[in-house]
Amino acid sequence: MGSCRQIAAQLVAPGKGVLAADESIATMSGRLEKAGVEATAENRRRYRELLASTPGLADGASGIIFCDETLRQAFADGTPFANAVRGLGILPGIKVDTGAKPCCGLPGETVTEGLDGLPARLAEYAEMGAAFAKWRAVYLITDELPSAGAVRSNANALARYAAACQEAGIVPIVEPEVLMDGDHPIERCAETTAEVHAAVREELGLLGVDLAGIVLKPNMVVEGADHACRATPERVAEATVGVLRAWPDELAGIAFLSGGQPPGRATANLEAMQHHRTPWPLTFSFGRALVDPALAAWHGDPALVAAGQALLAERVAANANAVRRRARMQAA
Ligand code: 13P
C-alpha cells in the first residue's frame, strides 16, 4: 500500500502529467493507416519508440501508459520499453482492460472487460517493470443513457480492477470516461459525470481501495461535440471542479483524459482549472491531445522522427506549464 501511495504521488508530481500511448492494436492500427503508415507490429513499435524517446520528455511526463503489445516490445537497441523509459526517468504503465464490450441486458451500452485472470496478468506486468495500470470505462450520453445498470456495472469493474492492482503493488489509474458524443449541453455532462463518479466512489469504498494510492482519470465536463456552442475554459473549469469536489481530500490526484478535444482547447481548459484551489493536484493524462500532431508530422518517415518528437515535446511542455502555474499560485 505504501509503495502505491508513493508511486501515485510521483505520477501527479507538480508540473508533470502522464502520456497515454496505450491504444489497443486495432485502434493504433486505424490511426497509423489514417496517417498513411502501414499497420504492422514493427510500425507500432517504431511509433511508440519515437514518442517515448522524445528528448526532454521526462521534464513534463511522469509516466507513459503502454498496451500489452508495446510492453513486450523493445527499443531498436534491444532495451525493453519498460526498462528504456525507466532509464529516461519515466514510470512505465500498462493498460490492463480488454476493452469496452456490449453487455447483455444493456442494449446500446458497454461494460469494460478484463477481470478474468487479472491478478496473474498484474503479477506478470509487475515482473516486467510496470509501476501503474489503467482501466477505462465509457459512458454514452443520450436522452435515456447512461442507464443505471451501465453506471453500476462499470463502477463495480473499475473497483475490482483497482483493488487487484493495489494488491499487486501497482497503482491503478481509474478512468470513468463520459463520452463527448452527442449534442447535449454542458449541464447534462456535469450531471452524468457526477452520477458516474458517485457510483465509482461507492464501489471503491466497498472494496477497501486506498484513494491515496490511485489516480482518477476523468473526462473534463464539456458540452457534447455536436452542441451548438463551445463553453469557455472558465466555464469548463468551474463545472469540472464542481463535480470533482465530491472526492475526498486523500485522493492522490486527478489526471484528465482529452477525450477528442482539440489539443489547444484541452490545454486551455486544464490551465483554467489551476485557478481553483483543490485538495488534489489536477493534471493531464492525454492521449490524442498530445500525440496527434506528432503522428501527423512523422507519418512513418524515418527522416521525420525528430519533427514528430518536437511536436510532442511542444504539447507536453504546454500542458506541463499549465499545471506548473498551479504550483506557483498555490505557493503564493
Ligand atoms: P485521450 O486523451 O485521447 O482521450 O486518451 C486518453 C486515454 O487514455 C483514453 O483511454
Out of 28, 288, 316, give the residue to mutate to test ligand 1, the one with the largest number of ligand atoms within 8 Å of its CB: 288
Residue 257 alpha carbon, nearest atom of ligand 1: 2
Quote the pLDDT of residue 326. Answer: 76
Cα(283)–Cα(295) distance, integer angstroms: 23
Q: Please state, in angstroms and rounded to a whole number, the distance separating the CA atoms of residues 218 and 302.
A: 35
pLDDT at 332: 64
Q: CA 83, 87, 89 angle in degrees (round to 5)?
A: 120
Per-residue pLDDT tens digits for 299-313: 999 999 999 999 999
Quote the DSSP letter at residue 174.
Answer: E
Q: Which residues are catalytically annotated? A: 175, 217
Protein residues with CB under 6 Å of any ligand 1 atom: 20, 136, 175, 257-259, 286-289
User: Crossing angle, helix 25-34 and helix 41-52, to 10 degrees?
Assistant: 80
Distance 103 CA to ligand 1 centre (A): 22
Percent share of the chain, pLDDT over 70: 98
Asked if 207 contacts 164 with a C-beta cutoff of 8 angstroms, the reply is no
- Cβ contact 95:66 at 8 Å: yes
Mean pLDDT of 208-219: 98
Nearest atom in ligand 1 to 286's CA: 2
pLDDT in tens, 29-38: 999 999 999 9
Residue 273's H or E segment, with its range, is helix 263-273
Q: Kindly report, residue by residue over 230-271, the tens digit of the pLDDT.
A: 999 999 999 999 999 999 999 999 999 999 999 999 999 999
Which residue's alpha carbon is nearest to atom 5 within ligand 1?
287
What domains sit in the chain, N to C, each tagged with a CATH number?
2-331 (3.20.20.70)
* Closest-CA residue to 32 (of 296, 307, 218, 308): 296
Q: Enter the C-alpha cell of residue 61.
A: 511526463
| pTM, two decimal places | 0.98
Segment 109-131 shows an average pLDDT of 98
